[in-house]
Homo-oligomer: A and B are copies of this chain.
């Protein structure tokens, strides 16, 4: 059944407490038993300035925003017009502003939304210590059907330390908003859910990423701050300390990647997180990790490129550098998370893959999922714990071969401290012992081995998420990856609800490619649309390079920062089936 959901935005300028209001609403929604997704957007100012919290609530898990918003609640209008492209409003949308701040900016009215007024400032002024944002929350709660008790609990929790008076003032403003909402036009309501049907978490993609690597066994992290990856690190620093690990802030990304190479060579699973500009600086040393066969995980929380681009906004355009960016032939692993919750699965899996294959593994997430907070079903326990094939004792009369040519391509690795197995790991081409060699035969043998270990590994079913419409796959497919999976899922769901047949293939294992598995997934498919958020259609090109695609394959790509709404994808499916 098509997701029943409510989408709304709270916006206002710096001091207006927009982000706090959004967070309170999210928590209250969680209390009400709903699922939720919250993203934020803000202006260029370092602090203050305009901000918007985009929220979507539903009675079942959701992974994407909708095509438009039901409600925009603007605490004031200052520069909010700048968000117009990010906040699609249509004729059925409702835009509510405070008459004290004048009329809504024209930029927001393009879709001819219904307009209404709520005197938030005036109402708040009548309550001692009352604040307009609590009035707004009250009105929103009433409009969308959020029970006041759900908010009560949240406010009590948040203002505990400020005392009962503060709590009362807040709730008074809230209730005034509830009351005032009676005069507002209606918006869709969500049913309250008595008790949540399953345990749920509130987590951001960046937190899930941090948790995933810790679960996978990472205990050493070196990093250099960069938006939007910093929160991964900020979560990891204190969390690692709690489980016997360490985070070191390095002088730059060249240092952070090389520090984790050193730590991993020393036997401690290691990772770093960065974004495009930082990944660019790590390229040379990623090649070193490939050649010297040092396992490690690098998370790239993608932002809009090229160059410094737009640091605070999302795009899926680092696929190329992640897959092809290294000089020489440098086989490595690239995986991509497809939702906030999947950041956990994918990074934990990444540690497992890196350690098992002694190779650098890149994880692609992005600003949209990294900085979004979601209420999600409690993630499953996973069996992926980084496990390295080690050499632990010398074999009498045999010199240890660090880079032994094996059938699997994986060579048992001696960890420093192990007697009798000393050797030098090397980024120069080498023979099996690790001794530098310029012989074509050694190069060929090591190249074969390094690529074989990746192609022969058993990735199970995790290479992709494959979802069929209720009526089956039919002959249509959506092929996508990463953040575009959320809207693609929802497009499929709507298509399915309308009786359509189609299959969604969201690729998690970007490299090495899995031609056989993809061929199986594409069996019977004659038309496919490749969905991604990049200007040049990087994913489509990559698929063409390595897979046999259906003859009628279309590329649906757009540059960031605007995400696909499910509707754009649905359109293509409908066009085909009509």
Residues of A within 8 A of B (CB): 44, 82, 85-86, 276-277, 279-281, 283-284, 287-288, 290-292, 304-310, 312-313, 315, 317-318, 320-321, 323-331, 427-429, 436, 438-441, 443-444, 447, 451, 534-536, 538, 541-542, 544-546, 559-562
In-complex Cβ contact of A306 among B82, B306, B330 (8 A): B330
Among A307, A327, A561, chain B packs the most CB atoms within 10 A around the CB of: A327
- Min CB–CB distance A542 → chain B (angstroms): 7
In the complex, which of the residues B281, B283, B307 contacts A290, with contact meaning CB atoms closer than 8 Å? B307
Closest CB in chain B relative to A431 CB, distance in Å: 12
Partner of A305, one of B313, B321, B327, B560: B327
Closest to A561 in B: B440
Which residues in B have their C-beta under 8 angstroms from that of A321? 283, 324-327
A111 vs B324: C-alpha distance when bound (angstroms): 39
With contact pairs A331-B536, A439-B82, A560-B440 given, residues A429 and B304 touching in the complex (Cβ less than 8 Å): yes
Whether A328 contacts B324 by the Cβ 8 Å rule is: no
Which residues does chain B contribute within 8 Å of A427, judged by CB atoms? 307-309
With both beta carbons as reference points, the residue of chain B lying nearest to A538 in the complex is identified as B329
Residues of B within 8 A of A331 (CB): 536
30 inter-chain pairs at a CB distance below 8 angstroms, sorted by A residue, are A82-B439, A85-B439, A276-B328, A279-B327, A280-B284, A281-B283, A284-B307, A287-B307, A288-B307, A288-B308, A292-B307, A304-B438, A304-B443, A305-B330, A307-B328, A317-B327, A320-B325, A321-B325, A321-B326, A324-B324, A331-B536, A440-B561, A440-B562, A443-B561, A447-B535, A451-B535, A451-B536, A541-B545, A544-B545, A544-B546
Identify the interface centre among A312, A317, A534: most chain B CB within 10 Å of its CB.
A317
| Residue from B82, B280, B304, B546 in contact with A326 in the complex, judged by beta carbons closer than 8 Å | B280
Contacts of A306 in B (CB 8 A): 287, 290-291, 326-330
Cα separation A331 to B535 with both chains bound (whole Å) = 10
CA distance A544 to B287 in the complex (A): 25
Check B326 against A438 for contact (C-beta < 8 Å). no
User: Which residues of chain B have C-beta atoms less than 8 A from A292's C-beta?
Assistant: 307
Contact B559 A329 (CB under 8 A): yes
CB nearest neighbor in B for A279 = B327
A277 to B290, CA, bound (A): 13
A256 CA to B499 CA, complexed, in Å? 60
Instruction: Report A545 CB to chain B, min CB distance, Å.
Output: 4
Q: A545 vs B427: C-alpha distance in the bound complex, in angstroms?
A: 30
Contact A313 B562 (CB under 8 A): no
- Measured CA separation A409–B288 after assembly (Å): 38
Q: Name the distance in Å between A530's Cβ and chain B's nearest Cβ.
A: 12
- In the complex formed, the residue of B with least CB distance to A276 is B327
Tell me which of A309, A312, A317, A331 has the highest count of chain B C-beta atoms within 10 A of its own C-beta: A309
Tell me the complex Cα distance, A562–B441, Å: 10
Contacts of A440 in B (CB 8 A): 85-86, 559-562
- Nearest residue (CB) in B for A329 is B535
CB distance from A289 to the nearest CB of B (A): 8
Flag if A438 contacts B307 (CB, 8 Å): no
Bound-complex Cα distance A437 to B545 (A): 34
Most chain B beta carbons < 10 A, residue from A329, A444, A544, A562? A329
For the complex, give the distance between the alpha carbons of A307 and B286 in Å.
8
If A310-B428, A545-B542 touch, does A559 touch B443 (CB 8 Å cutoff)?
yes
CA distance A387 to B326 in the complex (A): 32
- Taking a contact as CB atoms under 8 Å apart, the answer to whether A429 and B309 are in contact is yes
Instruction: Give chain B residues whose Cβ lies under 8 Å from the Cβ of A309.
Output: 291, 328, 427-429
In the assembled complex, which residues on chain B have CB atoms less than 8 Å from the CB atom of A86? 440
A284 with B277: CB separation less than 8 A: yes
Residues of the B chain whose Cβ atoms lie less than 8 Å from the Cβ of A441:
85
**Residues of chain B with a CB closer than 8 A to A562's CB:** 440
With A and B bound together, what is the CA distance between A331 and B320 in angstroms?
12
A428 to B290, CA, bound (A): 31
The answer to whether A320 touches B326 (Cβ under 8 A) is: yes
Cα of A559 to Cα of B445 in the assembled complex, Å: 10
A324 touches B323 (CB 8 A): yes
Q: Which residues on the B side are within 8 Å of A443 (C-beta)?
A: 304, 310, 559-561
Contact B545 A447 (CB under 8 A): no
| Chain B hits for A438, CB < 8 A | 44, 304, 310, 312-313, 561
Could you say which residues of chain B place their CB within 8 Å of the CB of A328? 276, 304-307, 309, 315, 317-318
In the docked arrangement, what's the CA distance between A44 and B429, Å? 12
Name the residue on B nearest A311 (C-beta): B428
Assembly CA distance A276 to B286 (angstroms) = 13
Chain B contacts for A545, CB-based, 8 A: 541-542, 544-545
- State the 5 A-B residue pairs at the shortest beta-carbon distance, nearest first: A305-B328, A306-B328, A276-B327, A280-B284, A306-B330
Contact A307 B291 (CB under 8 A): yes
Distance to closest chain B CB from A518 (angstroms): 14
In the complex, the chain B residue whose C-beta lies closest to that of A328 is B305
A317: chain B residues at CB < 8 Å are 327-329
Residues of chain B within 8 A (CB-CB) of A541 are 545-546
